Amino acid sequence: MIKITPSLLIEPNHILWIQGDINYSTLRYLDGSTVTKCCTLKKFESALSDNYAFFRSHKGYLINLEFVERLSLDSKVAWISNEKLPISRRKRREFKEHVQDLSIPLKD
């Protein structure tokens, strides 16, 4: 468990991705459930990016690289749990560098 705020504890290894929307973030878990928390994506990013395999792929998404299943040929989209997650143009090169060692297959 990791403390994000004094009242918010999470288990990072069970999170597929986090989607931010202004001051709220929706966490998507392995079991398919979602939970919305009153916490910015930036707070999650600062707590998770250094010690866990989380990457800010887009202004609204923080994804767990451990669960990326596929990557589009043009690197615009990553698939996790059969859902498409965007990768911003400015983050594509850095994202590809992070996942190249994970042997993630490319798909049209």
How do residues 2-14 score in pLDDT, each as one tens digit? 777 777 778 899 9
Q: How confident is the model at residue 107 (pLDDT cuts 50, 70, 90)?
A: low
Which of these ranges, 29-33, 49-53, 90-94, has the smallest mean pLDDT?
49-53
**For residue 22, what pLDDT is reported?**
92
How do residues 55-104 score in pLDDT, each as one tens digit? 999 999 999 999 998 888 787 888 998 899 999 999 988 888 887 767 66
Q: Which residue has the tokens 């919305």?
A: 36
Assign domain 2-102 one CATH number from 2.160.10.10, 2.40.50.1020, 3.30.450.20, 2.60.40.420. Answer: 2.40.50.1020
24 touches 38 (CB < 8 A): yes
**For residue 63, what pLDDT is reported?**
95
**For residue 86, what pLDDT is reported?**
94
Q: Where are the domains of the chain?
A: 2-102
Residue 2, phi-psi category: left (phi > 0), alpha (psi -120 to 50), beta (remainder): beta
CA-wise closest residue to 15 among 37, 30, 1:
30
